[in-house]
Each structure stands twice: as C-alpha cells, then as structure tokens.
Amino acid sequence: YIAGINAEKSTKELVLNIPMLKKGDVVELYSDDKETREPMKSELKIKKNGELKISMLTDGGFIIVK
C-alpha cells in the first residue's frame, strides 16, 4: 500500500510517480469525501506508467492499495 497525509491548511494536488504501477492497472483509493469528510473508496485506472494524480483535503489523506 501507499499512504499520504496532508497536515497543511490547504488542499494538496499531487502527481505521484510510482514505478510499480503500470498503464492499465486498477488500484483502490481510500480518501476523504469532499463534502462529508467521511472515508470513501474508489477505483482508479492508471493512465500512464506509474503516474497517479491525487487530491488531498486539508487535514486529510489517502491510501492506495493494489
């Protein structure tokens, strides 16, 4: 798994380069819902080799599981 935490007072937009992920891979993303801040689960399909775009809310975070 891969995890990230945002302890800053603004939303963070990240582009992660994760070489173990290949184009077409599907991963599970656990993150914060933008409206309720409740945990949510979604699936992401990797579009470029190892490249993944993540948005983290203020005082939020994420977990990626393959």
pTM: 0.86
The closest alpha carbon to 5, from 65, 62, 64, belongs to 62
Q: If you average pLDDT over every residue of the chain, what do you get?
A: 93
Q: 24 near 48, Cβ under 8 Å?
A: no
**Res. 49 pLDDT band, cuts 50 70 90:** confident
Measured distance between the N- and C-terminal CA atoms of the chain, rounded to whole angstroms = 7
For residue 22, the one-letter residue type is K
